[in-house]
Amino acid sequence: MPHGESWFSFLPFHDRLVHLAHTHGGWPLNDEGHTWITGGHAGVQHVYAAIFVLSLLAIISVVTDTSIRNAGKDLLPHEKLTIRNFAELFVGGAYNMMSDIMGAKAARYFLPLIGTCAFFILFSNALGLIPGFLPSTDNLNTTLACGIVIFVVTHIYGLKENGWNHVKHLFGPIISLPALPLMLLMFAIECISHIARPASLAIRLMANMTADHKVLTIFLGFMSGIAILFPLPLPVYVLGTLVVIVQTLVFCLLSTVYIAMAIEHAEH
């Protein structure tokens, strides 16, 4: 399969969609890391992968909700791992992580946001472990969109909880006329720091998933000639699975920390 292509390339409308994206898409990066305006082919594989993952998550949500509604007053979980058990364990783990950072009340409020990011990123990352598929999270368009959502939520709820104190703290701990030069310097530094947060979330996730997928692809190519003796590069798959989980945890952990810092009430 050519580089930058996946099983989604066999969809009947793929060529038409690539043409439309190349003609009307604008500036976003393609799968090769170049802007469409430079003449490169428009990348749409991350769009396919994202839609596929969202559809899968929608099915899991319906199955889980139906199972919970039909459970009645069951007290004991199923003996085998089911979709519902997986969803409950995953959501419970995300909630426990968040409550340790921002408290139980805030964790319950922001769980839909962080939980959705966790599900989407985990399944998107894991899609890259399947031969012939590309993860949507190895594309900066996808990861930057996730980072911007966290950035916007952080400052919206920071303003909601602390009012203009959320902006005042950007000028440093001393607010006075004699300290105006230092205040302006602190403001510039804090603005750069806050703008760098979504960029760091996006670039970290994209870079790690790109490297993980390329390494896995290389090893699969090496092993294709001796598939009878060693069907799969199992050690690399184990390492890739760890990367999938760790990158999901890192994104959600940092997102929770950023939101918790924004909504905390300072004593002054």
Q: Give tens-digit pLDDT for 201-245.
A: 999 999 999 888 888 877 777 665 555 555 556 777 888 899 999
Q: What is the end-to-end Cα distance of the chain in Å, rounded?
A: 60
The C-alpha atoms of residue 166 and residue 266 are separated, in whole angstroms, by 10
Backbone angles phi and psi of 29, in degrees to 5: -75, 145
Give the closest residue to 47 by CA, choosing from 60, 35, 30, 64: 30
Q: Is the pLDDT of residue 37 over 50?
A: no
The confidence score (pLDDT) of residue 40 equals 37
φ, ψ (nearest 5 deg) of residue 35: -75, 150
pLDDT top residue among 173 and 266:
173
Please, are residues 205 and 251 in contact by the beta-carbon 8 Å criterion? yes
Confidence class for position 145, pLDDT limits 50, 70, 90: very high
Dihedral in degrees, nearest 10, Cα atoms 108, 109, 113, 118: -20
pLDDT at 112: 94
pLDDT tens column, 89-130: 999 999 999 999 999 999 999 999 999 999 999 999 999 888
50: burial class by Cβ within 10 Å (0-12, 13-18, 19+)? buried
How does residue 73 score in pLDDT terms, banded at 50, 70 and 90?
low
Tell me: pLDDT of 28 over 90.
Answer: no
Query: Ranked by mean pLDDT, which of 27-31, 126-130, 171-175, 197-201 comes out on top?
Result: 197-201
Residue 32 has pLDDT above 70, yes or no: no
Supply the DSSP symbol for 43: P
Look up the pTM and report it: 0.84
In sequence order, the 6+-apart residues with CB closer than 8 A to the CB of 85 are 77, 78
**Mean pLDDT on 134-142:** 90
| 126-135, 159-168, 176-185: range with lowest mean pLDDT | 176-185
